[in-house]
Structures are given as C-alpha cells and as structure tokens.
Amino acid sequence: MLVRIGSRGSRLALTQAEQAAAALRRAGVEIAFVPITTAGDRDRTRPFGQIGERGVFVKEIEEALLAGRIDVAVHSAKDMTSTDTDGLAVGAYLERDDPRDALVGAVSIEPGMRIGTASARRRAQLLALEPTLSIEPLRGNVDTRLRKRRERGLDAIVLAACGLDRLGLSAEIGARLDPEAMLPEAAQGALALQVRAGEEELVAHADDPATRARVEPERLCVATIGAGCLAPVAAHHDGTTLHALIADEDGAWVERRSGDDPVALAHELVALAK
C-alpha cells in the first residue's frame, strides 16, 4: 500500500515528515513524499496577521488532502487552526518533543536586549518579563533566522526548542525557557498526522495517547478563546494541569490561570481581558 505524505518543503518540515513516515512504515506501508508550498512559505516578510488568520502554514496542505492529492498531512500541531477543518481529522499525534521555547544567542534575558521573534505570544511574554527589551520582527525558516540574528547583530532570538532539536541544532540553544516564565504555544512540540474524516485508521497505530491527552485540551482552550494569529494567547498542559494565558500585545498586562476544564479556563481568561 502506498501512502502519500504531504508537508511543507523546508528542511525542518521534511525532517518532521520523515519522522511521520518512520512511524507509518512500521505498519508495512510504502511512503511517497509530496512537498507543498503554503502562503506562509511564499510570503516570508509580512507579519502572519497580514497574510491571513492562524493556519497560514497548513491551508494548502489541507486543500490537497481534501482533494485526494495526498493521503496524510504532516503538520507542526502548533501551526494548525485550533479547531479541525471540516472533513478532516487528526488521526495521530506523534510522541511530543520538548514543548518549550528556546533562547538562542544568550543564556538569559537581560535588560535592554534586542530579541528577534515574529510571534505575538512571545513578544507579549518577553515584554512582561522585561519591559526594557527591544523586540524586533524576525521571520523565515530556522536556518534563515539563525543567520539573520548574526547579520543584524541581535542579542538573541526565540525559537521552538523542538525544531532546533529535530535539526540537530541543540547546541545553538542558550537556555530552554521554563513554561512558568514563557508559556508555550498550544500544541508546540507535537506533530499531527491529519487525514480525511473516516480514514483515521490509516495512521491510528502511530498515535501517542499521552500526547493527545495534553495537546487536545490546549487546542480546545485556544479555540474557545477564539484568538487569531496575532492574539497573544498560550496554553500548555504539563501532564497534570492545563495552564493558559491571554495578554496585551505589548506585555502591559498578562492574565494567566490554571485548571482542568479547557472551556471554563478560556471563558475565565476572556472575562478577565474585557
């Protein structure tokens, strides 16, 4: 049986697609890779919110899945919209890698630093931690952002630790930021294998139940808040408790709460933000 896997074409995306392929090959299937260019790949300069809503790295891949051009879509789960697209379902989450954010170029956050990131969530939390920081927009794939940090003389950049680990670039990490200080993006560190609704059995053997039990409440919480790509929100389940936050984009205020019910937690945060 041949299974066509669709993913973005960056080095990290193809590395992640190979992780998914390795998990699927255990069921004896043959794999063909289908690289797909997304809106987020085509436009590497504008902020995400100017390109479209959350999901700028998945829309075209989902369209290929719905059209039958691929059989499985592999996504960084944090890039997906927080609610499932009609006609599609996450058939498996691979075992989660490190969900934390990583500081590259420095070992700690110090007053007055110039830090690069394109993430509104990271910007808000960084400024809440240290208001004297200068947060500069920085986009591109991992290798591009590492190069731009050096070219622009930035003191540090913030990236997902899992991406650096997957690319063999763990040595670039100066510090892995504790979720107490920097709450990760919902589903960060997890890879999602998306299929057409009703075809979940194609990938079900690759599903990690512990990852699903953490990631799905995170996604539900963010979906209930109803945040778009630019809204500084975050949700992270530590295995015991769900933690979530909503913030002002400049970090002037951050409301953070913890609990067991993702919907109730989201409603509490939205009420606090009004």
Catalytic center residues: 78-79, 121-122, 139, 145, 229
Contacting residues for 95 by C-beta, under 8 A, at least 6 apart: 208, 210, 211
| Encoded tokens for 230 | 């630019």
Locate tokens 């936050």: which residue? 245
Does residue 88 contact residue 66 with C-beta atoms inside 8 Å?
yes
Give the ranges where 140-273 is alpha helix by DSSP (H).
Answer: 142-152, 161-166, 209-225, 262-273
Give the count of alpha carbons within 13 A of 176, CB side only.
Answer: 11
The token pair that represents 108 in the structure block: 């700690």
In a 3-state reduction of DSSP, which class is residue 167? coil
Q: Compute the distance between CA of residue 258 and CA of residue 171 in angstroms, rounded to an integer.
A: 33
Q: Where are the alpha helices (DSSP H) in 26-159?
A: 39-42, 48-51, 59-66, 120-129, 142-152
Contact indicator for 244, 224 with CB cutoff of 8 Å: no
Give the other-Cβ count within 10 Å of 13's Cβ. 23
* Helix, strand, coil fractions of the chain, as percent rounded to 5: 35, 25, 40
Q: State how far the Cα of 161 lies from the Cα of 189, in Å rounded to an integer.
A: 8
Q: Please tell me whether residue 185 adopts helix, strand or coil conformation.
A: coil
Task: State the number of CA atoms in the 13 A half-sphere of 52 facing the CB.
Answer: 17
